[in-house]
Structure 1
């Protein structure tokens, strides 16, 4: 199991972020990203909502930094850590637009993109953007197939029910031969979508016991990622034993990657918490992406 970071600041859900994040900006975020990169954590995250209706913001939050702009900046402050969208809502974009924008990000970051995708559930936002809602699942399945055809190639073609293109050039494109795609969701159908079209599953809002039961009934291929997070933010300095138990539970539930939130009083304190979490992880045999003495991976 590896450990990635649910990036602070960029998403501020009600009751799930610390006070310092409200006024934090790119300097604080870059400090945290560079520290996580130096310590060898697996990934950073950034989620997507374009425009949350005010009546929904009380539950879902209203602060969502754009993942493309955010990761474009953080790519310049980091060199190894992966950049995971968690998630891009497929129905908001044409697959060619995702391929161009995030393929460029993969090029800029030296092949560090993990494209986390989801179907989306906020009908009001779909309506605001003029995106079809009722058939969004079928569209998402086809969009993932289209992305496989056009994300890592210059000259691309795809023929489907919702998306159809031929003899077009997408340049720059992703430098990874196959960009990892994680599928977010909370249903058995989202797991099936991940197994059919993706490389990993990021369930949310489900008890670990239910996730374990779903995984036990699935035929997981080699290399398939299961990205799980604890139900509360970790405090590696103030509650080290609790943080260790949380990591153990995630691994026992089937996680190959832990995506954790960390509580802190400031960006500097957050970096101290990252260092403490690394030590807890190393005590449990969890690998970190250490740099060699020559500075390479």
Structure 2
């Protein structure tokens, strides 16, 4: 049992974001990330959208911080929490561009990158970036294979359906020998893609019953993660309901929780982060050692 956090402030969807997030910035973000790191949370997240059509901003939200810049900033303010894209749209990037940019982040963070990826669904964004939309699914499959071949390689080689490269130097590159890749989506194809090419599945827009039913239809590889996000975790105000929500997610197949909390400000959120570790003391919290903490002191 492991817990990460859906990072506040960096994504503000109308039905999810708390009012204080619209007025918050780097100071609050840094405090929350540092607290999650010190408490032993598995990961924090940042999503990707370049643009949102104004006509859909009321439902999708319009605030999406850039994940590479944001996670790079947070890498310098944390010690061991993993840095997860949630999710990176594969069609917007060449696999070598991902290997270079997120490989650099992997170097800077000491091997803490988790790459959450997806095929994307916002056609206007594909059009803006002049990225093919109709065949984005098979392109994504090939992109993951290409990324696997390129990751942590100074001179990668790959020959696939959509991507081919050889005789090129990528430096710096990732330091993890195996990059954890979580595939996002809400379809059976996304789950199959995750099982075939990834290390985990990060579904959205599905009920727990639907997720459990879909998981029963596949043979999951050893060590395969299922990352779920039960809503309205309130360990301070409703510990019983919080425990029930988390336990139902694990019964549905979760191995990692993307925690989204009830919170009324940064201080309250940090208190909620601490309260959840008390509510689930036997979870896989990874706390810094005394030596790591003292190394951070000036």
Q: How does the TM-score come out when normalised to structure 1?
A: 0.97
- 1:189 paired with 2:189, answer yes
Give 1:250 deviation, angstroms: 1.0
- 1:294 paired with 2:294, answer no
- Helix, strand or coil: the match of 2:173? coil
Equivalent-residue separation in structure 2 for 1:215 and 1:160 (angstroms): 29
Q: Find the counterpart in structure 2 of residue 96 from structure 1.
A: 96
Aligned length: 293
Give 1:235 deviation, angstroms: 1.5
Q: Find the counterpart in structure 2 of residue 21 from structure 1.
A: 21
Q: Find the counterpart in structure 2 of residue 262 from structure 1.
A: 261
Q: Find the counterpart in structure 2 of residue 4 from structure 1.
A: 4
Give 1:246 deviation, angstroms: 0.9
Over aligned residue pairs, what C-alpha RMSD do you find?
A: 1.0
- Helix, strand or coil: the match of 1:169? coil
Q: Which runs of 4+ in 1 moved over 6 A?
A: none
Q: Find the counterpart in structure 2 of residue 113 from structure 1.
A: 113
Q: Find the counterpart in structure 1 of residue 247 from structure 2.
A: 248
Q: How does the TM-score come out when normalised to structure 2?
A: 0.96
Equivalent-residue separation in structure 2 for 1:151 and 1:236 (angstroms): 39
Q: Find the counterpart in structure 1 of residue 296 from structure 2.
A: none
Equivalent-residue separation in structure 2 for 1:200 and 1:257 (angstroms): 10
- Helix, strand or coil: the match of 1:269? helix
Equivalent-residue separation in structure 1 for 2:124 and 2:56 (angstroms): 9
Equivalent-residue separation in structure 2 for 1:107 and 1:287 (angstroms): 24
Q: Write out per-residue CA displacement over residues 22-71 of structure 1, whole angstroms, 9 at most, x where no aligned residue.
A: 01111100100000000000100100000111112111111000000001
Give 1:157 deviation, angstroms: 1.3
Give 1:233 deviation, angstroms: 2.3
Give 1:251 deviation, angstroms: 1.1
Q: Are 2:11 and 2:64, in contact at CA under 8 Å, matched by a contact in 1?
A: yes
Unpaired segments ≥5 residues, structure 2: 294-298
Q: Find the counterpart in structure 2 of residue 165 from structure 1.
A: 165
- 1:147 paired with 2:147, answer yes
Q: Find the counterpart in structure 1 of residue 43 from structure 2.
A: 43
Q: Find the counterpart in structure 2 of residue 281 from structure 1.
A: 280
Q: Are 2:103 and 2:173, in contact at CA under 8 Å, matched by a contact in 1?
A: yes
Query: Does 285-294 or 242-251 show the bigger shift?
Result: 285-294
Give 1:290 deviation, angstroms: 2.2
